[in-house]
Amino acid sequence: MKKFTLLLGLFVVACSMISAVYVHKGYHVGDVAEDFSLKNIDGKMVSLADYKEAKGYIVVFTCNHCPYSVMYEDRIIELQKTYGAQGYPVIAINPNDPAVQPGDSFEDMKVRAKEKAFNFAYLFDEGQKVFPKFGATRTPHVFLLDKSRTVKYIGAIDDNPKAADKVEETYLVDAIKALQAGKNPEPSFTKAVGCSIKIAK
Amino acid sequence: MKNLLFSFLACFFAYTSSGQSTPIKVYHSFDEMEAAILKHDNDTTYVINFWATWCGPCVKELPYFEAAAAAYAGKKFKMILVSLDFAEQLDKKVIPFVKDHKIQSEIVLLDDQQANKWIDRISPEWSGAIPITLVYQGEKRAFYEKEFHSVKELEEIINPFFNN
């Protein structure tokens, strides 16, 4: 028993050493995302479970102020038009603390959603509890989940933030199409430049 | 003669106080930028900061980078600020910003949209959010995805490159 305790102790020490080198931040592809309940711009609380007919979920961490988010607004509206109708709704979440980032308050979100006629839920991560669970680090940052909330793709919408007409790789659309075909997206993880998430001080 | 000397001095000060004297080099390809600034194999310590005029935390920490560059002046040290603003914004946004903030460090602009292909080449630890800071000397490298809040904090990551 003593030996076992010692081994267990060593194991714990070894694990903590490993985690000091590589810190697991949020979900990886293959993890099952926890559902959440966040306030939408219409004042109603929204959960993934509310989408009874969903075959999957396009969770996008985005915001008002970030120019990269703004450049993708029209593309996110198009995604909702096309893939929302096919059972893959867009759920946008603003992860920023408005006290740190002017322009990203709940009221500002309502204004922007109206201006751009957002056709998707635009939720406020009040208290900043949800984005760390996902491991979102920037805006925009996409997490594509399947019906059972398993994370299937993490990353960018496509490979050209500046010019939608010069996109060569439609990462997110390809990932959705893979799910529709019963396959795993490839690539399942991409990176993009974006604005850091503004955290409460 | 006095007048001539005066106008010469006036010109001189006007020139130096305008901040950056070298034009901002624009790179449309990460490969080219990497070859030009990220691959120096010598005993100079390079601090490379990725920023943009639209990035609040980046703009906030720039004065610390400028102060650090001044603190290491005379040593084998080089500060390069890599703007991720778009090339189209160079004249309207980046150059006026550099003038307004009287930035002295060398600035280059990287406008290579295919970030998924080059983010990991800066560091696999980089998520893609800015600001980030890279310190290197030859093969020795240190990477930080964070905002710096003082010159002291910067000196703490730069000094190890001078103590070996």
A99 found inside a domain: yes
**B86 contacts on A by Cβ (under 8 Å):** 162
Residues of chain B with pLDDT under 50: 8-19
Q: What's the whole-number mean pLDDT along residues A15-44?
A: 79
Task: Decide which of A10 and A180 is more confident.
Answer: A180
A6 found inside a domain: no
pTM for this prediction = 0.86
Residues in chain A: 201
CB–CB contact A169 B116 (8 Å): yes
Q: What's the whole-number mean pLDDT along residues A10-14?
A: 50
- Is the CB of residue A138 less than 8 Å away from at least one CB of chain B? yes
Rounded to a whole number of angstroms, the distance from the CA of A138 to the nearest CA of chain B is: 5
**A137 contacts on B by Cβ (under 8 Å):** 127-129
Mutation target vs A (from B94, B111, B127, B146; most A CBs, 10 A cutoff): B127
The pLDDT value given to residue A2: 56
Contact A138, B128 (CB under 8 A): yes
Fold topology of B28-161: Glutaredoxin (3.40.30)
CA–CA separation, A24 vs A15, rounded Å?
12
Q: What's the N-to-C CA distance of chain B in angstroms?
A: 53
The model's pLDDT over A133-180, given as tens digits with 9 standing for 90+, comes to 999 999 999 999 999 999 999 999 999 999 999 999 999 999 999 999
- Is the CB of residue A155 less than 8 Å away from at least one CB of chain B? yes
* Domain, as residue range, for A97: 26-196
A7 found inside a domain: no
The model's pLDDT over A51-74, given as tens digits with 9 standing for 90+, comes to 999 999 999 999 999 999 999 999
A40 found inside a domain: yes
Rounded to a whole number of angstroms, the distance from the CA of B118 to the nearest CA of chain A is: 9
CB–CB contact B115 A166 (8 Å): no
Contact A90, A84 (CB under 8 A): yes
The pLDDT value given to residue B163: 73
CB–CB contact A196 B126 (8 Å): no
- Helix, strand, or coil here: B37? helix
- The CATH number for A129's domain is 3.40.30.10
The total domain count for chain A is 1
Q: What number of CA atoms fall less than 13 Å from residue A106's CA on the CB side?
A: 12
Task: List C-alpha distances in Å: B94 to A24, A46, A139, A194, A195.
Answer: 36, 41, 22, 18, 18
The pLDDT value given to residue A201: 81
Rounded to a whole number of angstroms, the distance from the CA of A145 to the nearest CA of chain B is: 20
Q: What's the whole-number mean pLDDT along residues A6-34?
A: 64
CA angle A29, A84, A112 (to 5 degrees): 95
- Quote the tokens at residue A93: 């979440």
The pLDDT value given to residue A22: 41
Peptide bond into A187 cis (omega under 30): yes
Rounded to a whole number of angstroms, the distance from the CA of A160 to the nearest CA of chain B is: 5
Q: Would you say residue A3 has pLDDT above 90?
A: no
**A158 contacts on B by Cβ (under 8 Å):** none
The model's pLDDT over A80-127, given as tens digits with 9 standing for 90+, comes to 999 999 999 999 999 999 999 999 999 999 999 999 999 999 999 999
**A169 contacts on B by Cβ (under 8 Å):** 116
Q: Would you say residue A10 has pLDDT above 90?
A: no
A116 found inside a domain: yes
Quote the ipTM score: 0.83
3-class SS string, A90-132: EEEEECCCCCCCCCCCHHHHHHHHHHHCCCCEEEECCCCCHHH
A181 found inside a domain: yes
CA–CA separation, A114 vs A122, rounded Å?
11
H-type alpha helices, A118-183: 130-134, 171-180
- Is the CB of residue A186 less than 8 Å away from at least one CB of chain B? no
Contact B51, B131 (CB under 8 A): yes
Rounded to a whole number of angstroms, the distance from the CA of A129 to the nearest CA of chain B is: 19
